[in-house]
Structure 1
């Protein structure tokens, strides 16, 4: 499978089978992803992988935290900026509605939508959960490098027949996870990722988000 084919095939999988992913396979994925671009070779990423009882413990932390505060924990790194402008607001709304349509959940069924959202904190049934940590002293450039690393990991997983879902939703319980993992103060947990084998029969995994055409985001200058 080419890089282009892998990139176009990858989707955010939101339903996984119970088939396990062993530590050796995960180590191989990380061993490849570590060759991602890194300005100044800082390699500003740290990964915490959980499975089995460790994953269950993390899921309990999220449940207990959100039962106390369903809106999540406040912080200085919100998932989305306040007052999201166009075209970003419409894009976010459209993918949300498409997702719930695949699940057969109407807009007025708030309880069902909340239950669907809560699946984030069970890694959508995936056997492995990954968390990405960065040093608080890092700037925007290093955050971009962390994103490149995550993208590389997702593509390598896809190549191996595995599936992933990048999960910024874990930012809603960032402070509780920081304490749970006993991270030092200078480290910040950014987000999570579900990793496993996709349940190909699940309707939600038929969802493919749209992308703007090249003409909408690129400007060509100086070409013949």
Structure 2
């Protein structure tokens, strides 16, 4: 599949089929993605892959943790800035409204929104979850390289007929996961990713957010 097609068809998948992904397939995806750009060839990424019972344990732990502390337990690396300015605020609000409309969740439906959030913590039913870990000593450049690595995983998965969803929501239980995975103090668990087979019949997977016109973010000098 052409890269331009992969980039335009990839989307955040929020409903997966109950169908396993073989470890060999995940290894193949990571073998491809490891060739993502990396300044100085630092390759600052580490990946934890969970499935089966390991995934269930993580899901139960996350839901239990947030039931006790719904606001989350960590602000070391917030998911969004405290004050999101324009045009970013409108973009975020719009895609959120579109998502809930597709799912039939009203603005005041707290139970519906909570269920959807728990679906997030269940990797939206995906058979595999990936967690991304980076050394705390790394700088802004290495964080950018991590993002390139993650997108490379998403595109490689897409080419193989699989789908993904980037999940920064796991930051809300970062401390708990850090202890659960027994990570050393110098490492930070950044975020997660759901990996599996897209449920093409699920309404929520019809969401394809618009992108800004080039003139809004490109200047030719």
Fold match (TM-score > 0.5)? yes
> What CA deviation, in whole Å up to 9, does each residue of 1:138-169 have, x standing for no partner?
00000000000000000000000000000000
In 2, Cα distance between equivalents of 1:118 and 1:217? 35
In the TM superposition, structure 1's runs of 4+ consecutive aligned residues that sit over 2 Å from their partners are none
Residues 213-224 of structure 1 mapped to structure 2, 5 A cutoff: 213-221=213-221
2:64 partner SS: helix
In the other structure, the counterpart of 1:88 is 88
In the other structure, the counterpart of 2:137 is 137
Residues 1-224 of structure 1 mapped to structure 2, 5 A cutoff: 1-221=1-221
> What CA deviation, in whole Å up to 9, does each residue of 1:76-121 have, x standing for no partner?
1110011111011111111111000000011111211111122110
Deviation at 1:175, TM superposition (A): 0.4
Range 131-140 or range 71-80, more displaced: 71-80
1:47 partner SS: strand
Range 115-124 or range 34-43, more displaced: 115-124
In 2, Cα distance between equivalents of 1:147 and 1:139? 13
In 1, Cα distance between equivalents of 2:206 and 2:80? 25
In 2, Cα distance between equivalents of 1:95 and 1:117? 16
Q: Is the contact between residue 74 and residue 171 of structure 2 (CA under 8 Å) also seen in structure 1?
A: no
Deviation at 1:74, TM superposition (A): 2.7
TM-score (norm 2): 0.99
In 1, Cα distance between equivalents of 2:76 and 2:163? 30
Deviation at 1:75, TM superposition (A): 2.3
> What CA deviation, in whole Å up to 9, does each residue of 1:172-200 have, x standing for no partner?
10000000000000000000000000000
In 2, Cα distance between equivalents of 1:91 and 1:117? 20
In 2, Cα distance between equivalents of 1:134 and 1:48? 11
In 1, Cα distance between equivalents of 2:163 and 2:116? 19
TM-score (norm 1): 0.98
In 1, Cα distance between equivalents of 2:65 and 2:163? 27
- Paired residue total: 221
Structure 2: gaps (5+ residues)? none
